[in-house]
Chain A
Amino acid sequence: MLYPLVAGVLFGLYFSLVGIGLNLVFGVMRIVNLAHGDFLMLGAFVAFGIYTAAGLDPLVGIPVAFALFCVAGLLLYWVLVPRLQRARDPEMLSFILFFGFSQVIEALTTIVFGTSERSIPSRQLASSLAGIRASLFGGEATNGPFRIFGLSFPASWVVAATVSVIAIICVYLYLYRTRLGTLTRAVMSRRDEAVATGINVDRVSAAAFGIGLGLAAVAGVFAPFMFGSFTPAFGIDATVTSFVVVVLGSLGNPLGTALGGVVYGVSYMLVQTYLSSWADLLPYVLLIAILLLRPSGLLGRRVRVA
């Protein structure tokens, strides 16, 4: 029982990172980015490229992927979103637009990279940190299994969970300790009132969109380690799981995603242990259950504003 619980928390924290960008974008703009998983997949390609081309620790991919996709997000925002927001039903239209965008990303990536599975050796993740640790404290400069309560877990999971916690804290600090974050929360709360008070909603939204995509790409850096391998088609599954995690926590509340991720992770590991053939159904069962029992999500308000 202890093993699936600990594994579930580690796995779930990673899924918080997977979903938090999607929720930030929805919270600010009320649009559903169905291409979210594809940006995650592109983040995996960034880590793969950094490792194979330069032989660097895939952790280097985190700042690179974040910066790259933040900028891409800002550019994409100005091309797509203002037009979308002018539509009568931007929420519904965003489904169609980003679904199409997802297909384009997948098709282009397939043309460029092919369809085969790709991965990065697990011991390469955080190999630079292992090297520093070995030079300071001795021992081997490799990342073997990590022991928690005497149980053995993949070191890559622990690294991914740690980075996820750091990312969630960063999002919290951004939202609650910066001026742009305060403005972001204002837009999330009431977009029309934010416009009326003179907030540059487009600037705030563009920043949130860029950060959302950046976080997705950072989650993608860990995808080769968390999912065994990845392909250009990997994005759709990631989007579905992200959506479940986000709805579980609360749509529009990025910090609720952290809780949603952990609940999803623990549930998944428990189902895999006791009802393994049914593990695939879990995301959909959770989605239906939360929508029936608490539509606003675990940390949501009783009435959804959107």
Chain B
Amino acid sequence: MIRKASIALAAALTLGTQAFAADAPAEIKIGTLYASSGRYASISMPVHSALKLWVEQKNAEGGVYVKAFDKKIPIKLVAYDDQSNTATAATLYNQLVTQDKVDMLVADSGSVLTAPAVTIARDHKMFLFDQTGTGASFFSKDNPYIALMADPVSTIWPKPVADFITHDGPGLGIKKVAILYSTNEFTGTQANAVRKFIKDSGAPIEIVYDQGIPTETTNYTVIINNILAKEPDAVIHLGYAPNDIAFLRNVQDVGAKFKMLFCIYPGLETELLEKNVGAKGLQHVFTYVPPQELEYPVNFGMKMSDFKKAWDAKYKDGKIEFGFNSVAGYTTALVLEKTLSVATSLDRMELRKAVFSLSGKLKTLDGTFALDEMGGQIGELTPLGQLELNEHGHIKFVSIYPHETATGKPVYPRP
């Protein structure tokens, strides 16, 4: 009897496994957008290129392990060019969901081009792998269809900057702060957060200048003159890479010397900024310290040094800079891979469950992947640092705040 039952069970298992394998798709379709031109190309192409690098690597190994089918399956990257245009992006996200019927939906880089995906994913109840869209409005308790892969959510990202100003600032003589930001979801949210942190701290800090300007601004000469008129002790400029390039060049051009100047992208896309602004123009600028400078221990995927080697081997022409966004793209890829390895099906809510199960456990070259209950990234934090020149005249990072990760003291006021 037992023998018969065992045979029956073995037969059932065999048939079951066969059916399991037979149902497996020939490829896992990952749908995404990229911007090969326009304002966001410089933050989109590194992210997309990193994703492509991972796809090639995995397909060369026969694909990624998909637990739902208990086998390795090749990946097909379905990617369209939105040309930095949100209207085009909305159409193409729709196409990925409704026409291409991708298994996993990955947003383009940056909050501006992620915004249309958030709405579309939610409408179609499709889980969105948000690569670097950190805008606060994307994450809410009533939207379970999103998780942020690789940047801290903008509501907490600038905390080290605000904390440095409110904790250490008064001792250094910082009393008046100017905030200049580009009016988009990403930097607008960061500006709101900085303002809130400063006000809530109760520190004797006055915000003497607080202006939003269009993201497309390429000329800051008059604005810099207006800021100078307020005599701030610290200037916080929150913009995208082209904004930072234009702003920092204009600061040099008019000979303005702010005692403390914070910008986002000198830390995130250092190669690009150094090429355009020059090492001298970045000296003493405060910025975020990116993972490339921190060498986090990893439990999944390549280490930073290996990833850099793989990047340099694939993108030899140097047309796309290695930086924070390339690391973000690769981090997204690792989360996708890990998700497929733990999800028991490709159902949207099962994917969500799998992604959230990685929270606090997955350690990549970008730091510890950790999500809050709304899908906002709270693990991959970037300390505040200051850029200095080494003995060869090249840029180096000095971590300033929090004190436990500090590698040096701030240079304040800027000489």
Contacts and interface: CB of A to CB of B under 8 A. Distances in A.
Interface string A1-30: 001100100010000000000000000000
Contacts of A113: 319
Interface in B277-322: 277-278, 317, 319-321
B254 A145 contact: yes
Q: How large is the interface on B (under 10, 10 to 19, 20 to 34, 35 or more residues)?
A: 35 or more
Contact of B41 (A7, A115, A121): A115
A154 interface: yes
Given A122-B252, A277-B183, A229 B245 contact: yes
Interface string A116-157: 111101100000000000000000000011000001111111
Contacts, number: 121
A233 B253 contact: no
B285 to A, nearest CB: 15
Given A276-B213, A277-B183, A7 B222 contact: yes
Contact of B276 (A7, A118, A154): A118
B402 to A, nearest CB: 32
Contacts of B183: 277
A157 B278 contact: no
A303 B123 CA distance: 52
A229 B83 CA distance: 18
B37 A280 contact: no
Interface in B198-224: 211-214, 216-219, 221-223
B92 interface: no
A3 B83 CA distance: 36
A280 B184 CA distance: 13
B255 A152 contact: yes
A85 interface: no
Contact of B216 (A114, A152, A280): A280
Most buried by B among A11, A156, A276: A276
Nearest to A118: B276
B242 A110 contact: no
B241 interface: yes
Interface string B88-113: 00000000000000000000000000
Interface string A221-234: 00000111101110
B37 A110 contact: yes
Interface in A94-128: 106-107, 110, 113-119, 121-122
A110 B223 contact: no
A272 interface: yes
Given A119-B276, A154-B250, A279 B245 contact: no
Contacts of B38: 231, 233
Interface string A57-90: 0000000000000000000000000000000000
Interface of A is mostly: helix
Given A228-B245, A233-B37, A117 B276 contact: yes
Interface in A190-233: 226-229, 231-233
B253 to A, nearest CB: 3
Contacts of A277: 183, 211-214
Contact of B218 (A115, A155, A157, A228): A228
Interface string B356-367: 000000000000
B45 interface: yes
Interface range on chain A: under 10, 10 to 19, 20 to 34, or 35 or more?
35 or more
A114 B221 contact: no
Most A-side CB within 10 Å, residue of B41, B183, B211: B41
Nearest to B253: A154
A222 to B, nearest CB: 12
A237 to B, nearest CB: 7
Given A110-B37, A273-B226, A226 B219 contact: yes
A286 B214 CA distance: 17
A237 B264 CA distance: 25
Contact of A116 (B213, B219, B272, B277): B272
A189 B283 CA distance: 57
Interface in B25-48: 35-39, 41-42, 45
Nearest to A273: B222
B246 A228 contact: yes
Given A121-B278, A145-B255, A154-B250, A276 B212 contact: yes
A107 B83 CA distance: 11
Given A227-B218, A277-B211, A117 B245 contact: yes
Contacts of B405: none
A117 B222 contact: no
Contacts of A118: 275-276
A4 B222 contact: yes
Interface in B232-247: 241-242, 245-247
A4 B222 CA distance: 6
Contacts of B247: 228
Contact of B214 (A116, A273, A279): A279
Contact of A119 (B213, B245, B255): B245
Contacts of B253: 122, 145, 154-157
Contacts of A114: 45, 317, 319-320
Contacts of B35: 115
A120 to B, nearest CB: 9
Interface in B319-374: 319-321
Contacts of B42: 115-117, 231
Contacts of B17: none
B246 A229 contact: yes
B399 interface: no
A233 B84 contact: yes
A239 to B, nearest CB: 14
A127 to B, nearest CB: 14
B221 A157 contact: yes
Contacts of A154: 221, 250, 253-254
Given A157-B253, A279-B214, A280-B214, 16 more contacts: A3-B222, A11-B219, A106-B37, A115-B36, A116-B320, A117-B276, A145-B255, A152-B255, A227-B218, A227-B246, A228-B250, A233-B41, A233-B84, A276-B213, A277-B213, A280-B217
22 contacts: A3-B222, A7-B221, A114-B320, A116-B42, A116-B45, A116-B319, A116-B321, A117-B272, A118-B275, A119-B276, A122-B249, A152-B256, A154-B221, A226-B219, A228-B245, A231-B38, A233-B38, A272-B223, A276-B211, A277-B211, A279-B213, A280-B217
User: Closest 6 interchain pairs by CB?
Assistant: A228-B246, A114-B319, A154-B253, A280-B214, A115-B41, A233-B37
